[in-house]
Structure 1
Amino acid sequence: MPTTRRTVLSAAIGTVAGAGVLTAAPAGARPAARPPRNPLVDNRFWTSYGDWRRGTADGVRALPGPRPALLIGRPAGRTEYTDPHTGRTTAWEYATWTSPVHRTRTAATEIIASWNASTPPGTWLQAELSGDYADGGRTPWFVMGRWASGDGDIRRASLDGQGDGRASVWTDTLAVDDPAGGTRLVAYRLRLTLHRRPGTRLTPVVRRAGAMASDIPDRFTVPATVPSLLGPGRELTVPRYSQNVHIGRYPEYDNGGEAWCSPTSSQMIVEYWGHRPSAADLAWVDPGYSDPQVCHAARATYDHQYEGCGNWAFNAAYAATHPGMNAVVTRLGSLTDAERLVRAGIPLITSQSFREEELTGAGYGTAGHLMTVTGFTPGGDVIAGDPAAPGNEAVRRVYRRREWENIWLRTKRYAADGRTVSGTGGVCYLYWPEEATALQRRALKSLGIR
């Protein structure tokens, strides 16, 4: 992993629309929501019928209904794609949707895209971002992922080596190269290209797409928060899975379970919401293996370019392949935000890095690790589902509040050898159902997520 990367990856639809701008949503739309509590983070996700209609369409159509979506209408054309991970060249029909320009509330140093879609066999999608600099310049279109839920048509992958001399893509993150020099991104566009096999009526179905933009200041420590004043802590009943029971299994997916913290955490939360892979999904897994759904999650999140299962956007996309699920990658500003989510019944997945002595009771240090946050004690300490446990029975951990919030929210830290290395600055995955409660929707809205 490049040491210049500032955020740490886990180690581990209506009438067919032709080209042009889709007509705007009718008058009477809801007024703008109150700005979320964290001014350093801007979330914008397109998900409503009006959202899809406001974008620029070339061969896509917007589908109204209870859960609006974007899909291929009349393809814009054909293209050939040579998959660098298989060597196969295949012809595809394609259609594109480009978002309106989104001007961020904060001038950003990083932008992380995420999307929710289904891609039946014979289909896939590509997500791209282009940002506007504060001085009026503009980035080229950067590929943020070539994605399918399966791996039979293309190999799911990020794209290395993208940059314009001012910003670069590090797997799942578009990052300014020199934040200290003042370079900032103040707006962006998202482009989705939907692909299908020529001559078919197949289509990807996109239900949510957008990005989180942020400008988290470089910091080795963060201000301490006090436990919520809303009453005693709450613990959610979340399944507990250890990545370590899978060590040695399917080493073609990032060396097996040793590095599966991200998909293991994702699987815990997916199952909390009542979803499990089908018997057909698991048919490829050795029947002698315990918890085969964790193996399935690892394969379904594996990034063939990064050669790991820790691509943040790919984990969110995996979670959202389950019926009725939403998922985003974002940043939170404090453990108070996390408490608000847990009290509403929404667990979260956080990314952090630390030396062993920085997190009492962990028993290990890590350059990047994902865990679930499933609750808080009455005193405000964090109840975590830590997949680095030796077995499922030891996954539940209680970590000291002050230690946890610092290793999660900081952007700089000292490695064991004294070097200054990066921290994640509060990155987390949030997964929740379409049929969320009013309390859950309010908690998400407070973070700028709808």
Structure 2
Amino acid sequence: MTFNFSSSLFIFFFLWSRLTLADSPHYGRQFIGLTNFSEFTKGRGESPDESEFVSAEMATQIKWDELVVSWNADLPKGVVLKIETRAIYPAHSTRFYTMGIWSGAADDRRRMSVKDQKDNDAEVLTDTLALKAPCDRVRIRLILSGAGNVQPPPLKFLGLSFADKKYEAPVLPPNRAAWGKSIAVPERSQLDFPEGEQSWCSPTSTSMMLAYWANKSNRPELNQAVPEVAKEVFDPNWPGTGNWPFNMAYAGSFSRMRAYVSRFSDVSELEDWIASGIPVAVSVANTVLKGAPPREGPDGHLVVCVGFTEKGDVIVNDPGTRQQIRRVYPRENLVKAWARSQNTVYLIYPQGANIPDDRFGHWDSCKAEFETDH
């Protein structure tokens, strides 16, 4: 769903959302996309070169306890964007938590996540706001520095992915239109780079997906080498290249590209995207994907879902391999491994692409109605 904060469009959205989605299950997930920021309330920041832009209060259709925020912006060098969010309860509001600081250049040392954000209401786990009690309202604050007197903020897109961690979604019927289909996504390995052998699965997956669109759309500027992507998405407070929104911020910084983090509820939604010819990166537990029991400690991994076999097993480009990057894993392995990240995905595609119908409100399904000129 896409929000717009002008009064007439807000009323339209309110009525439309209830007519189309009120009776549809969200299965513990909801996505809200924003493309028009002209109605954000502008104010002064803490320093003379800062401006802040505050959204109206937004209501979600689910009770959620996790939020991942993605942003797409084309910032000039020297300009810094801080993205903040607060949860709103009937009796009180949380403080604003910083979800990320993004800059117009990778060598700007201000580009980072913010550590040590924990209180009685919530904790920020690098790129994820984790609430201690479920909520259904939120407010966004954008703080811009080095941009002068600008209105609205130079932002193309903001994506809010809400999840209820406790919700157990049912297994849905598969979309067999994706079975037997494989997308020609270029194969790349993180193991080709000594500095990235243990940690570059995310930028390698992002690089593969951008390269796919470079070929399909005849846009060579999207074909970025893995080390270049890794440099652009590096988060010194991670530390590393696995910050989900940072990867999407880089991919979405290219002209006419949309990139964001979302959470699905079922493998059939991956099949919807594959049937539409669009690859999807999925965050999995690496050992579980390969059929082993969950292991203690970090085990997160990103792979690119490029298709499904005739029997419904998943076909992926696995950046953690070298000799055979394209691999088939049992469907049940994917389900278990993917669940460890709350079914997190990277979605990257050109604006105006023929994306699949959004059955449950899990991606940016209404962008055509409220698109901006960016």
Counterpart amino acid of residue 346 in structure 2: Y
3-state DSSP of counterpart to 2:88: strand
Is 1:44–2:32 an aligned residue pair?
yes
SS at structure 1 position matched to 2:111? coil
Deviation at 1:224, TM superposition (A): 5.0
Contact 1:125 1:148 in 2 (8 A): yes
1:327 equivalent in structure 2: 259
The answer as to whether partners of 1:96 and 1:194 remain within 8 angstroms in 2 is yes
Aligned positions of 1:38-437 closer than 5 A: 38-47=26-35, 49=36, 52-58=37-43, 76=44, 79=47, 93-133=49-89, 136-177=91-132, 183-196=133-146, 205-217=154-166, 227-230=174-177, 232-248=179-195, 256-274=196-214, 275-277=219-221, 293-355=225-287, 359-360=290-291, 367-391=299-323, 394-409=324-339, 423-437=340-354
Number of residue-to-residue matches in the alignment: 350
TM-score with structure 1 setting the length: 0.71
Deviates more, 1:166-175 or 1:95-104: 95-104
* Letter matched to residue 42 of structure 1: Q
Deviation at 1:355, TM superposition (A): 3.0
TM (normalized to structure 2)? 0.84
Structure 2: how far apart are the matches of 1:223 and 1:406? 14
What's the offset of the Cα at 1:126? 0.3
| Cα root mean square deviation, aligned | 3.0
Secondary structure of the structure 2 residue equivalent to 1:240: coil
Q: Aligned partners of 1:231, 1:325: CA distance in 2, in Å?
A: 24
> Which residue number corresponds to residue 5 of structure 1?
none
> Match for 2:69: what amino acid?
A
Amino acid paired to 2:86:
S
Contact 2:80 2:110 in 1 (8 A): no
Q: Which has the higher helix share?
A: 2
Q: Kindly indicate whether the alpha-carbon contact (under 8 Å) linking 2:262 and 2:363 is maintained by their aligned counterparts in 1.
A: no
Q: Note the residue ranges of structure 2 that are not aligned, 5 or more in a row.
A: 366-374
Report the residue type matching 1:215 in the other structure: D
**Paired AA for residue 113 in structure 2:** S
Distance in 1, Cα, partners of 2:151 & 2:62: 39
Deviations 1:173-192 (A, max 9, x none): 11024xxxxx2122111111
What SS does structure 2 have at the residue aligned with 1:258? coil
What is the match of residue 84 of structure 1?
none
Q: State the AA in 2 paired with 1:40.
A: G
Structure 2 contact 62–136 (Cα < 8 Å) conserved: yes
Following TM superposition, by how much is the alpha carbon of 1:397 offset from its aligned partner in structure 2, in angstroms?
A: 0.6
Asked if 1 retains the 8 angstrom alpha-carbon contact of 2:159 and 2:261, the reply is no
Check the 8 A contact 2:113/2:127 in 1, yes or no.
Answer: yes
Shift of 1:108: 1.1
Query: What letter matches 1:32 in structure 2?
Result: W
Shift of 1:360: 4.3
Match of 1:283 in 2: none
Cα offsets for 1:397-444 (capped at 9, x unmatched):
1111111111112xxxxxxxxxxxxx211011111211212xx15348
CA contact (8 A) 1:236 1:347 kept: yes
Following the alignment from structure 1 to structure 2, what is the Cα–Cα distance between the partners of residues 300 and 444?
A: 34
Q: For residues 202 and 243 of structure 1, do their structure 2 counterparts lie closer, same or farther at Cα, with a shift above 3 Å needed?
A: farther
**Whole-angstrom distance in 2 between the partners of 1:27 and 1:315:** 30
- Contact 1:107/1:215 (<8 A) preserved: yes
CA distance in 2, matches of 1:336, 1:170: 28
CA-CA distance at 1:447 after TM superposition: 2.7
Helix, strand or coil: the match of 1:216? coil
Identical-pair percentage: 28
CA distance in 2, matches of 1:226, 1:137: 41
Change (3 A) 1:42 1:258: same
CA distance in 2, matches of 1:307, 1:27: 39
* Structure 2 match to 1:449: 364
The structure whose Rg is larger is 1
Task: List, as ranges, runs of 4+ consecutive aligned residues in structure 1 with deviation greater than 4 Å.
Answer: 25-31, 200-204, 222-226, 275-278, 443-446
Q: 2:184 and 2:191 mapped to 1: Cα distance?
A: 21
Residue 231 (structure 1) shift:
6.7
Question: Which stretches in structure 1 are left out of the alignment for 5+ residues?
Answer: 1-21, 59-75, 80-91, 178-182, 249-255, 279-290, 410-422
SS in 2 for 1:296: helix
Deviation at 1:367, TM superposition (A): 1.0
Rounded to whole Å, the distance in 2 between the matches of 1:27 and 1:106 is 19
Change (3 A) 1:308 1:276: farther
Change (3 A) 1:202 1:216: closer
